[in-house]
Structure 1
């Protein structure tokens, strides 16, 4: 049973050798904090270093977030893809993420499901303008209760989901929680699933996944 190590981040939360990653520029935005949070989330990350140092608790995961739909006026939309280094061509998690400031002046990251078969969008980070030009926010399904609320913390951000609001049936869970920390060159994400008795049934148990920013889009 390895669910305790799998399903790191969607945070949003895998190749045997590290691939390079390409710089990505975000469009200007009047809200500097939202712009900064989106910038820190954007790019190519992986957990290789952590998995090598603690293979009992962590897998080698690649996490990619790329901007999409730059003409949308509210916040920043991103395509998110997570895959094991051993099966990069078949990501185990694909989402659309929307980072913006809500009506309560909180910075939040909403999580959306893609329509149809998500694997049809695998590798969408290579040419996001082409891949997602036929989709829009109206085509997505919001994961109610699974938004991460972010707040500034020094030079970065910290955030989490709220209570037991994010429902999940994965691995016998009743709900899921997610904690996120953003700092320079590092995204830490700790996703966990809990049953009705409050017992953890999936996710890392030793702490969050530490995704190191590689600075360029994957080249392989």
Structure 2
């Protein structure tokens, strides 16, 4: 007597039979933190955390560099949405500064690992990681530039070199955010106020230069 059995997928105990890019990215995020960058992870570590054989990793990513870039891009998209919503609620240059900086610092305060990747890989990662972070910063700068122009027109204030102003603000906030990762959380409020003040100084400077013109170089 013969019995026809339907084929079943047999998985190694403790390992998933099917894995997605999202599963691997989630596993990598569990391993990183304020003091552990994605560039320090090994493929075997991520595979073990995801519950897959190392060879299964290659079905979704060419290598660890591609995984890191995917995480950096995800981080940039997530943070741009959060800060963009804060800027859209703003009605003046003062409120757009405070709202944007507070939204940024609140994400850092919540131990957002995606944000930590974005901040850390721009300084300690490989050239590929740094270029990926720089692309995300360029996106931030372009969106901020458009908002600065919108607010300047609405409030009848001048705006000198919008692109350069947006770059100065973006790079300042991200640099201070990277500093904040190494500070105790009870220092965040003080640092937030400092960053708000520094950004306002940049905005005041660009409004002044719009009236007086660029200084002689």
Is TM (by shorter chain) over 0.5? no
Higher gyration radius (CA):
2
TM-score (norm 1): 0.25
- Structure number with higher strand proportion: 1
- The answer to which structure, 1 or 2, has the higher relative contact order (CA under 8 A, 6+ apart) is 1
